[in-house]
Chains A and B, each alone.
Chain A
Amino acid sequence: MVKELERAGLPVVHVCTVTPISMTVGANRIVPAIAIPHPLGNPALDKEEEKKLRRKLVEKALRALQTEVDGQKVFED
């Protein structure tokens, strides 16, 4: 799916918990997520903290979209 979106001409960032799978399915810009049942959240945190965490991840995803890449790249911290 990620490949088809990219093929359509759209830059895609894949926010995904299991990055090796993301590599296998052919994503180019990859941002590692938190956990499978809650990729962009952490129920252990209070609401405010959790949203901050999510914002950090989304900001990282936006940064990835603004970064030129040559092939596959995982955006670690």
Chain B
Amino acid sequence: MNYYILTNNSQAKEEFEQTHNVRFVDGKLIDVLITARDLINNGAVLLSHPLYGSVKPNETPYRSILLREGKPQADGLPAPADPESVRLIGNAISAFEKFIDKKEVTDPRLLDDFQVVDLSLLRSAVESADL
């Protein structure tokens, strides 16, 4: 399927950039969500859920999301926004906002753990997408 991976996780970028379309976001988790939102507002469709069940937003600094392009309309307008994607990304951003602001994680081992888990969750989505 023609999709791309939106991520701020460098391990995810390394693993998939040769074989998949990767758009790297040089920023925080919220930047990934906002980038995804703007893409969705312009017609992109979410393929994976923007929240990960157990790793709470504001805890992990990483996020990887699968999206695909929408079909542009004839008159030059972007693809119509996909309602389900709009709803999910909106809910994800409000869920993110309600969690307490923690100090930034700097411990390299911890960052590695977060990257590994993010990558694993991304892999499980990619496996489904590549079927």
Interface of A with B (CB < 8 Å)? Answer: 17-21, 34-37, 42, 44-45
Contact = CB atoms under 8 A, between A and B. Distances in A.
Contacts of B86: 18, 21, 36
Nearest to A34: B77
Interface of B: 38, 41-43, 75-78, 80-81, 83, 86-87
B41 A21 contact: no
B78 A35 contact: yes
A19 B83 CA distance: 8
A4 to B, nearest CB: 20
B83 A21 contact: yes
9 contacts: A17-B81, A18-B83, A18-B87, A19-B83, A21-B83, A35-B77, A42-B76, A42-B77, A45-B76
Contacts of B75: 42
A52 to B, nearest CB: 13
A51 B109 CA distance: 56
A20 B42 CA distance: 17
